Amino acid sequence: MIEEGSKRGKALVEKRQLFMEMRAQNFDVIRLSTYRTACKLRFVQKRCNLHLVDVWNMIEAFRDNGLNTLDHNAEINVSRLETILSSIYYQLNKRLPTTHQINVEQSIGLLLNFMVATYDSESHGKLTVFSMKAMLATMCGGKIVDKLRYIFSQISDSSGVMMFAKFDQFLREVLKLPTAVFEGPSFGYTEHSVRTCFPQQKIVLNTFLDVLMADPPPQCLVWLPLMHRLANVENVFHPVECSYCRSESMMGFRYRCQQCHGYQLCQSCFWRGHANGPHSNQHQMKEHSSWKSPAKKLSHAISKSLGCVPISEPPHPVFPEHAERPQELSHTVQPKPVANNMNDTMLMSSGAPTPTKSVLESPSRLDEEHRLIARYAARLAAEAGNSTQQCPPSDLSFNFDANKQQRQLIAELENKNREILQEIQRLRLEHEQASQPTPEKAQQNPTLLTELRLLRHRKDELERRMSALQESRRELMVQLEGLMRLLKDEEQKQASGGSPHSSPSHGAGCSMPMPIRSTSAGSTPTHTPQDCLAGVGGDVLEAFAQGVPRNLRNDLLVAADSITNTMSSLVKELHSVDDVADEEETIMRNGGDRGSVRVPKH
């Protein structure tokens, strides 16, 4: 009795271990429920090592365990579920290097207890096949578009159209995950969830991906793409100071206020609702998953204004509307793997990378290859035995010498590969030692520091000049637009028989009649006052000031081209200053002499 009680107590502790560790992370201090749910599920994913299992490896594990032949409503007991999880994790350890092996037994126990607590709340000891597929396909690693494609294949018919009953079943199962991490009130299942996601009648794969990968996605599944974004920005570095905690750098997300200039928060402060100064939590914030330098932002803005920015790619590739037919492989002849194995051996001995795919790493494919290799080895052994009885001793000695030469060649290649790796390691260490800056090098080259400061000052002046030019260009475009509007009005009035005192066009190159300035009171147009020319460049002012009419449209184009050329030359000069500054830093870091420094001409 005492032993049974201790076993039950141990099982209860193991069942609650994952939830106790999750509560110790203090995720409940996060203010927004979407981020709170995504952080909790991301913690469960990493703690169970599911982020190391790709979705394609998970699909292959489903096929190897025969789950693709079972009905979705079929039930499997906990012991078989444990067997399936064991095969997934043991195959994962085979793919991982020896230095990154995981604790298989601990991962199986944590994930098994989490799945039972999530999908077997009434303690029946059984789970449906669809529940297990939906949970593992959602919580494993990989791209979200690949996961959604697999989920759509499970809830669609043979013609590639989604079945609403199946999608309703998927929502029931997948929304049990937020409930399991105590976020059910925010993302629980309702009867109207399906129609909220898809009000259309016919849903194909592309429509399914458009809706679930939209910005924003459906409210009940908004935590799913956020969990993938969290995984992508965990190691992203932002060299920006947080406006609240004054941390000099940020990791993960970065949030910038759209109302307060220069106000930025790290993800920890934003998630907890911290604010100071004039900033308020009611202000709109923009989420950034990467950081760009001011020079890159400026060049991107100029390229965008000049029409040089390419069109952004769609969020997902477009797939055919009809379902693809599975390939017929029953009559396919398997290739002989002997030559392939020899090529792989030569590639490994020479240090060249070999191509790997998830399909080749599957257990069934590996077992099939082992059987083929054993079969061909037995056939070669039998042929070698027959040839031994038939071939003379001279042929045997020749074959033995050829094999010996091949082994010697392989050994020489391995030794050479080892020497090359040692040389690469030595050169890497020398480069790291030489690239480390020391105070002595900086003191030996004070002139380099002075010139570097001058270059940075020059760069700041160019950036300020660029900002002023952009503002001038914007004002000039507004004024040119107003002038063009006045010219169109004048052309319409003259075409409809306007003032009889307006002078006709005399230039053969003019494409439309232009209002001209005259000393006669009767021929002066009343709706083109001289005040409209305030702040306009020389070409436009000259077009209005001269007595002979000119083609004002060409003058406007000339003025715009001159502005564009000026901005392009300024960008080139700014990039040249950046290159020289980078070269100065490299020379100072490597302790170079002053003779190799290039100073830009002012």
Tell me the pTM: 0.52
The answer to whether 137 and 150 are in contact (CB under 8 A) is yes
Extract the tokens encoding 432: 């790291």
Per-residue model confidence (pLDDT) at position 418:
85
Side chain identity, residue 161: V
Intervals of the chain under pLDDT 70: 1-15, 293-317, 319-372, 375-377, 381-402, 435-445, 497-557, 559-560, 574-575, 577-602
Distance CA 17, CA 109 (A): 10
CA 36, chain centre distance (Å): 22
Residue with tokens 């409209």: 532
CA separation, residue 135 to residues 115, 116, 170 (Å): 8, 11, 10
Extract the tokens encoding 15: 């069942």
Distance CA 481, CA 536 (A): 12
* Residues 6 or more apart whose Cβ sits within 8 Å of residue 357: none
Distance CA 423, CA 170 (A): 56
Distance CA 415, CA 519 (A): 97
Per-residue model confidence (pLDDT) at position 396:
46
Per-residue model confidence (pLDDT) at position 293:
63
- Output the DSSP codes for 137-177: HHHSBS-HHHHHHHHHHHHB-TTS-B-HHHHHHHHHHHTHH
Per-residue model confidence (pLDDT) at position 419:
87
Distance CA 435, CA 439 (A): 13
The answer to whether 257 and 263 are in contact (CB under 8 A) is yes
Distance CA 36, CA 27 (A): 6
CA 512, chain centre distance (Å): 52
Query: In 14-157, where do the E strands start and end?
Result: 75-77, 126-128
* Residues 6 or more apart whose Cβ sits within 8 Å of residue 320: none
* Residues 6 or more apart whose Cβ sits within 8 Å of residue 442: 449, 588
Side chain identity, residue 359: V
Does the CA dihedral 426-587-465-601 come out positive or negative?
negative
* Residues 6 or more apart whose Cβ sits within 8 Å of residue 470: 567
Does the CA dihedral 294-297-303-305 come out positive or negative?
negative
Extract the tokens encoding 497: 């028989």
Of residues 132, 128, 162, the one with CA closest to residue 148: 162
The answer to whether 102 and 52 are in contact (CB under 8 A) is yes
Per-residue model confidence (pLDDT) at position 188:
81
- Residue 127, strand partner residues: 76
Of residues 435, 465, 439, 404, the one with CA closest to residue 587: 435
Residue with tokens 């995950």: 177
The answer to whether 60 and 359 are in contact (CB under 8 A) is yes
What number of CA atoms fall less than 13 Å from residue 218's CA on the CB side?
20
What number of CA atoms fall less than 13 Å from residue 272's CA on the CB side?
13
- Output the DSSP codes for 286-344: EEESS---HHHHHHHHHHHHTT-SPPPPPSSPPPPSSPPPPP--TTPPPPPHHHHHHHH
Per-residue model confidence (pLDDT) at position 292:
73
